[in-house]
Amino acid sequence: MCGIVGYIGKQKAAPILLDGIKSLEYRGYDSAGISVINNQGGVAEAQVEKAVGKVINLENKIKSRELLGGLGIIHTRWATHGGATEANAHPHSDCAGNIWLVHNGIIENYKELKNELISAGHQFKSETDTEVVAHLIEEQVKSLKSKVQSYALEDAVRLALKKVRGAYALAIIDKREPEKLVAVRNSSPLILGIGNDEYLVASDASAVVKHTRKVIYFNDGEMAILTPDNHRVVNLENQAVDSQPQELDWTVESAQKGGYPHFMLKEIFEQPEAVENCLRGRLVVQEGTAKLGGLESIKDKLREIKRIHISACGTAYLAGKVGEYMLEEYAGIPVEVDLASELRYRKPVFDNHDAVLVISQSGETADTLASVKEAKEKGILTLGIVNTVGSSIARETEAGIYQHIGPEIGVASTKAFTSQVAVLALLTLFLGRQRQMSLVTGERIARELQRLPELIRKVLQSEDLIKQIAVKYQTHNNFLYLGRKYNLPIAYEGALKLKEISYIHAEGYGAGEMKHGPIAMIDQNLPSVVIVPSDSVYEKTVSNIEEIRARRGPVIAIATEGNEDIKSLADDVIYIPKSLEMLTPILSAVPLQLFAYHVGVLRGLDVDKPRNLAKSVTVE
């Protein structure tokens, strides 16, 4: 969580920093702050401003100030230690106000470090864990000064970080060295953008793509020392690191709203293209299989896999639950799906022929990353389904499949979810064909996957109807979402979308499980959204709808086109096209995303940045 940007170059830093941090606001938005080194007339001064709330508040505050320098750092915060106040907003500084830094991550041993520093006479201005780093660097500067004639900021930073335990991406400046930016990473994302006579460091590529597409992804323990016309990357032992720049595959447009009122709506409508992109070049229809470049090198190992443990968080976990049904039914591989926050602490029983498959849009989710590390520790093969190229999870896993859907900015996962499920279908084909799946079955799945973008387009045509249904139900404060088999995870996902976007209590439940408890809540005031496609459990689900109707509960049904009978059972019906049962979740998820979106908008909420949330959860 939190977003950081640093700039050094020949241009004015402040507008570039502000622009960059706006594209990272999805990472947290309870306060923001900037520090720019103004080096006019040979006297360097740190110009600092902070504001509670979104970045716009900071922007308004600095409108009347001239921030002149070509070196600066900026931050948008998702609070962990200390409330959302100006004092706790970054950048933080040492006692003398020379060193300023912004941080994403958590300093785990900050309490003991703070106590030591207070005993040594340091005065703290915030309740944050971050501030200790500024004082630690100050302490190291003092010690270096007493030992050597001249020192450099990076030396003090390296020595200070040796005392720190935890996760950090830091951008650090010192007004005594007004031509230098130091950036360092351990377990929190950080990227270096290399421009012409300018450098940017940022939590992700969306903040640098306007300026350059030439980037370096930092590894843990790597530090960049930047001047306007030079960069050097070293490790914490001060040894040079040979980090080769890579070309970003993002465009500026992909990180902007493109005429939509919200990123969430844009990303919902991008789903046909997103699924197309993640399937592109991967389906081998005539062989009924998938060609997955990222798995080529371990093809033989995968043939030996006897069980898969899927580990993920939130929506990605629910994609994993759909994957469980697919992989068991078509590849015949037993699958266990865990919340990553559980897998990392429980004692899973791994076997040599097991693989851990993690799913993560950001590739930075702390719990998911930890479950990769846990599996590696135990010598288990680790695989990833990840969207963000070069992210920590992409690099930690042994092999994997990229989603290739471009950046997802809206906090609610939409196109990431449907494409994760599409990738899981590709994986099912790949592993299934290595095992029992026949050519005919493989071909059928591959052909249906090819049709998916078109089918999603059809679902999106129902937006007006879904909006009307949202208007009708917007004032309800409780919802039940029900589904079975492949669509049980979609019931959970639909409820999760409504909760996070509209702050309405919604509960996802197995339709068949409803009578074991939640049925007690049903009356005319509790609408149930029932996912009831014409599949192998259709009749069972219809019986569950009858149970709701008998208790006068309103029903919104997601059903298959051509099913006229359902109209007499449900108050409202949203149709999805007919497809293979295993692929219906990709279609049924879409109307639920639109429903949550419109209810949120009707309630006047900020759907792109729901309260208390952040896009990338890089803390436990």
Q: Does 315 bind ligand M6R (CB under 6 A)?
A: yes
One-letter-per-residue 3-state SS of 325-394: HHHHHHHCCCEEEEEHHHHCCCCCCCCCCEEEEEEECCCCCHHHHHHHHHHHHCCCEEEEEECCCCCHHH
Q: Which residue, judged by CB position, is nearest to ligand M6R in the bound state?
A: 314
Pattern 340-379, ligand M6R, x by CB under 6 A = --------------------xxx--x--x-----------
Q: Does 24 bind ligand M6R (CB under 6 A)?
A: no
Distance CA 100, CA 135 (A): 10
Which residue in the set 136, 157, 316, 333 belongs to the binding site for ligand M6R (CB under 6 A)?
316
Q: Which is nearer to ligand M6R, 233 or 421 (CB)?
A: 421
Which uninterrupted H or E stretch holds 18? helix 13-22
CB of 341 to ligand M6R, least distance (A): 10
Residues listed for the chain: 620
Residue 444 — φ and ψ, nearest 5°? Answer: -60, -45
2, 50, 175, 609: the catalytic one is 2
CB of 613 to ligand M6R, least distance (A): 6
Q: Which is nearer to ligand M6R, 153 or 425 (CB)?
A: 425
241-247-249-254 Cα dihedral, nearest 10 degrees? 90
Task: For residue 245, say if its preceding peptide bond is cis, omega within 30 degrees of 0.
Answer: no
Number of residues that bind ligand M6R (CB under 6 A): 15
CB of 312 to ligand M6R, least distance (A): 6
Give me the residues paired with residue 38 across strands. Answer: 45
CB of 617 to ligand M6R, least distance (A): 5
What six digits make up the tokens of 349?
A: 């029983």
Residue 574 — φ and ψ, nearest 5°? Answer: -115, 125
Distance CA 199, CA 196 (A): 8
CB of 322 to ligand M6R, least distance (A): 14
Q: Which is nearer to ligand M6R, 67 or 106 (CB)?
A: 106
For residues 479-488, b (16+ Cβ closer than 10 Å) or e, as one string?
A: bbbbbbbbbb
Please identify, among the stretches 3-11, 57-65, 177-185, 309-317, the one whose residues bind ligand M6R according to the rule CB under 6 A: 309-317
Q: Which is nearer to ligand M6R, 289 or 365 (CB)?
A: 365
Q: Does 391 bind ligand M6R (CB under 6 A)?
A: no
Q: Which is nearer to ligand M6R, 27 or 213 (CB)?
A: 27
Which residue in the set 6, 314, 489, 591 belongs to the binding site for ligand M6R (CB under 6 A)?
314
CB of 375 to ligand M6R, least distance (A): 16
Distance CA 400, CA 381 (A): 11
Which uninterrupted H or E stretch holds 185? strand 181-186
Distance CA 193, CA 25 (A): 19
Please identify, among the stretches 133-141, 252-260, 281-289, 311-319, the one whose residues bind ligand M6R according to the rule CB under 6 A: 311-319
CB 479 within 8 A of CB 529: yes
What six digits make up the tokens of 230?
A: 């030079």
Please identify, among the stretches 113-121, 226-234, 283-291, 310-318, the one whose residues bind ligand M6R according to the rule CB under 6 A: 310-318
Pairing type for strands 572-576 and 555-560 reads parallel
CB of 118 to ligand M6R, least distance (A): 36
Catalytic residue list contains 2: yes
Distance CA 442, CA 298 (A): 21
Q: Which is nearer to ligand M6R, 263 or 575 (CB)?
A: 263
What six digits make up the tokens of 190?
A: 């950080």
Q: Tokens 């590894």 belong to which residue? A: 219
- 456-515 binders of ligand M6R (CB under 6 A): 500
321, 415, 497, 615: the catalytic one is 615
CA dist 176 → 233, 581, 584 (Å): 21, 65, 61
Identify the CA nearest to 74 among candidates 56, 93, 49, 54: 49
Pattern 406-435, ligand M6R, x by CB under 6 A = -----xxx----------------------
CB of 16 to ligand M6R, least distance (A): 26
What letter does residue 218 receive in the DSSP assignment? P
CB of 365 to ligand M6R, least distance (A): 3
Q: Which is nearer to ligand M6R, 394 or 411 (CB)?
A: 411
Question: What is the binding site for ligand M6R (CB under 6 A)?
Answer: 313-316, 360-362, 365, 368, 411-413, 500, 616-617
Q: Which residues are catalytic?
A: 2, 615
